[in-house]
Structure 1
Amino acid sequence: MISSTLTTTSSQARPTYASHGTGAIRAWLYIVALLVAALVLVGGATRLTNSGLSITEWKPIHGVIPPLSLQEWQEEFALYQRIPEYREINQGMSLDAFKSIYWWEWTHRFLARAVGFVFALPLIIFWIKGRIPPTLKPRLVGILALGAVQGGIGWWMVASGLSERTDVSQYRLAVHLTTACVIFAYTLWVARGLAPHSRDVPPSADSVWAAGGIVMLALCQIYLGGLVAGLDAGQGYNTWPLMAGQWVPDGLLAISPAWRNFFENAMTVQFMHRMGAYVLFIVTFIHAAAALWLGAGTTHARRAVVLFLMVALQAGLGITTLLLHVPLGFALAHQMGAIALLAFAVAHARGLKGTYEFTPTRRVKDVF
């Protein structure tokens, strides 16, 4: 069934995004995805500069205006001085030093608001003008809903570091990062579904599922990266390929009960992140080799090879970042590489699946 569907859609003339008047929608979604990628990158910088707790209140509307006078800056600083991070780590911080971390967090929140505005306003306009095919509407509403949930997750994360901890919960940080990447990936998925795709037959009927699995593996690796960041796990065990002088270091299950090690033990979390990278490397290598064997010369095979090379480059960047003890520039480059890799993996998988096909009342194929 899958094989016949793929063959049919590759050999028959298919409507393109232009024939449905959805070119503007596609461009808009790409802009949204770009803003989400910028938001993730600034969020990484906010974490790496320990700036995430500098704004201690959640003001969705009024919070868009930063302090404009010395008095307002002093009021914000006084709020920060009440939390454990200031009392236990930054005691005696100057107002100027506070401003430097405040601006990172303010920029992060400003970008989050900008993403919401840039998505919601055009959505309303396209909807009112009848430019959105009926079966595309649930997908766009789903992205909007995910964005609203993400705003709540962001504050839930920040709140974890305002009363007892000196940083945010690594659990909540990883969820916040991964949810942002899910929004990014699904926005790209929908946008790519509105674009013309190669008419080359996929290497096999199962290629789309393999490519989709790679997207899931990339998201899992990003989640593990969030745990690494939340625990500052990259600051230790800065050797490769051995870790603490061993292939499998002692102490991976030092915490009881054992399951907590996979979320709270810095050694175990870093080890799992390393293993995740090896798995992704092997899987993309096999995927590329199979694509070349079954569909040499096709667009899909070339993209599979590029995807593997991107994974190899990202792995090398991660190793370099670790060996250099996580300098800010390399850490941000590693995070940017993860976003770029996820984007290409999504585009590759969506390209194998083909272009959305709409009718006046329903979409002909494709359940996602």
Structure 2
Amino acid sequence: MSDYLSLKRYWITLTAICVLLMVLIGGYTRLTNSGLSITEWKPVTGTFPPFSEENWETELEKYKASPEYNKINYGISMPEFKRIYLIEYFHRLFGRITGFVLLVPALFFMYKKQFNSNETKFLITTLALGMLQALVGWIMVASGLIDNPHVSHYKLALHLSMATILFSYIIWSGMQFYYKKVQINFTNLNHLIVVSAILLLFTQIIWGAFVAGLDAGMIYNTFPLMNESFFPSETLSYTPKLVNFTENHGWVQFTHRILGYVVYMYLFSLYFKILKNNKNFRTNGKIIMILLNLQLILGILTVVYQVPLVMALLHQLNALILLGSVIVLLHKICDLQHYTLGVVHD
């Protein structure tokens, strides 16, 4: 039994890593403007790339019918097309690999009769979220293949949100393979404090997607001020006014900055007022603080240097790792309900 438990731990950890890598590859695909290079969605037959020159010519002809070719990449050479095509192809392929990593070990555990009802529920839910994520991804891509070679930043945010939910669910549910299964008690103040941190991080990730989708990181490349001002120079010209914070480039970046300050101060306070002096959660707190400060540094460097590829990808990746570390903290707090945050000391 213990051997199977160890295997399940490897399985769930590898699945979570695959989802993280999927997000990283997705970010690379977007930043290299490769996402609209494959104009069809073939979940089964699309597993293999073009092999012959004739197949490549066929794919290029399909791409030539797209608005991106006619409005942005007109006259693209075959080597250039192959580059963006293979980036998007690998993004889709890795989605299939992730599904394989999730499903095949689960079938093995079922065959060995080492899969209980909770684990079956986890598998079904994860598969459903994964398939929904793939569908949202295709809807997002398809929207850029009609007239305007541009993907709505709302759809991009939805796509990233789905990936974040999937990753969060795997982390939370996967903790049962390391510790006992727990439940969040929404009448427990300790639980609510950490749940609030998770919601703040999730909201910040969504606004990060807005910034990315609008290329809002390419403006106001100064810190801490936005071109010598705390506020962006754009007026709140959109109606209704709240739309400015999701569509007006300057105000979207401003909102992302402010949310970053809020998240930082919230987690900073959580650590120094609660976690630092509590022996049960001190290690979790130190990990969160390291990731939090790294995220702040990566965010500043990303905007100051106008979204360099590696920096932007690390910023996105670290955001999910930070979120995962707070989810682990929440699970531990739920597992130690007889402890009170900030009271148990050495």
TM > 0.5? yes
Among 248, 254, 279, the residue aligned to 1:271? 254
Query: Could you tell me how far apart the structure 1 residues matched to 2:280 and 2:61 are?
Result: 58
Q: Counterpart in 2 of 1:191? A: 174
Deviation of 1:128 after TM superposition, in Å, equals 4.1
Among 210, 215, 229, the residue aligned to 1:227? 210
Quickly say closer, same or farther: Cα 1:252–1:207, change in 2 above 3 A: farther
Q: Which amino acid aligns with 1:119?
A: L
Q: Counterpart in 2 of 1:72? A: 55
Q: Counterpart in 2 of 1:342? A: 323
Residue 68 of structure 2 is aligned to residue 85 of structure 1: yes
Residues 57-101 of structure 1 deviation map (CA, whole Å, 9 limit, x = unaligned): 000001111010111111111111111111111111111111111
Residues 292-329 of structure 1 deviation map (CA, whole Å, 9 limit, x = unaligned): 47xx2513033223313321220111101110111111
Q: Which amino acid aligns with 1:311?
A: L
Residue 300 of structure 2 is aligned to residue 319 of structure 1: yes
Among 117, 127, 144, the residue aligned to 1:134? 117
Secondary structure at the aligned position of 1:22 is classed as: helix
Structure 1 unmatched ranges of 5 or more: 1-16, 198-204, 356-368
Asked whether the equivalents of residues 54 and 80 of structure 1 are also in contact (C-alpha less than 8 Å), the reply is: yes
Q: Counterpart in 2 of 1:261? A: 244
Aligned structure 1 segments of 4 or more residues deviating by more than 4 angstroms:
none
Query: Could you tell me how far apart the structure 1 residues matched to 2:245 and 2:146 are?
Result: 25
Asked whether the equivalents of residues 233 and 250 of structure 2 are also in contact (C-alpha less than 8 Å), the reply is: no
Residues 39-66 of structure 1 deviation map (CA, whole Å, 9 limit, x = unaligned): 1001000000000000010000011110
Residue 219 of structure 2 is aligned to residue 236 of structure 1: yes
Q: Which amino acid aligns with 2:39?
A: T
Residue 115 of structure 2 is aligned to residue 120 of structure 1: no
Query: Could you tell me how far apart the structure 1 residues matched to 2:273 and 2:2 are?
Result: 33
TM-score (norm 2): 0.89
Asked whether the equivalents of residues 152 and 213 of structure 2 are also in contact (C-alpha less than 8 Å), the reply is: yes
Query: Could you tell me how far apart the structure 1 residues matched to 2:302 and 2:114 are?
Result: 46
Query: Could you tell me how far apart the structure 1 residues matched to 2:156 and 2:126 are?
Result: 20
Q: How does 1:299-310 map to 2 (within 5 A)?
A: 299-310=280-291
Query: Could you tell me how far apart the structure 2 residues matched to 1:249 and 1:63 are?
Result: 45
Structure 2 unmatched ranges of 5 or more: 181-187, 337-346
Q: Which amino acid aligns with 1:227?
A: F
Deviation of 1:336 after TM superposition, in Å, equals 1.9
Quickly say closer, same or farther: Cα 1:69–1:269, change in 2 above 3 A: same
TM-score (norm 1): 0.84
Deviation of 1:157 after TM superposition, in Å, equals 0.6
Asked whether the equivalents of residues 34 and 87 of structure 2 are also in contact (C-alpha less than 8 Å), the reply is: yes
Deviation of 1:191 after TM superposition, in Å, equals 1.5
**How many residues in Structure 1 have an aligned counterpart in Structure 2?**
329
Among 311, 318, 329, the residue aligned to 1:330? 311
Query: Could you tell me how far apart the structure 2 residues matched to 1:57 and 1:251 are?
Result: 39
Among 68, 73, 88, the residue aligned to 1:105? 88
Shifted more, 147-156 versus 213-222: the winner is 213-222
Quickly say closer, same or farther: Cα 1:132–1:324, change in 2 above 3 A: same
CA RMSD of aligned residues (A): 2.0
Query: Could you tell me how far apart the structure 1 residues matched to 2:136 and 2:278 are?
Result: 45
Residue 110 of structure 2 is aligned to residue 146 of structure 1: no
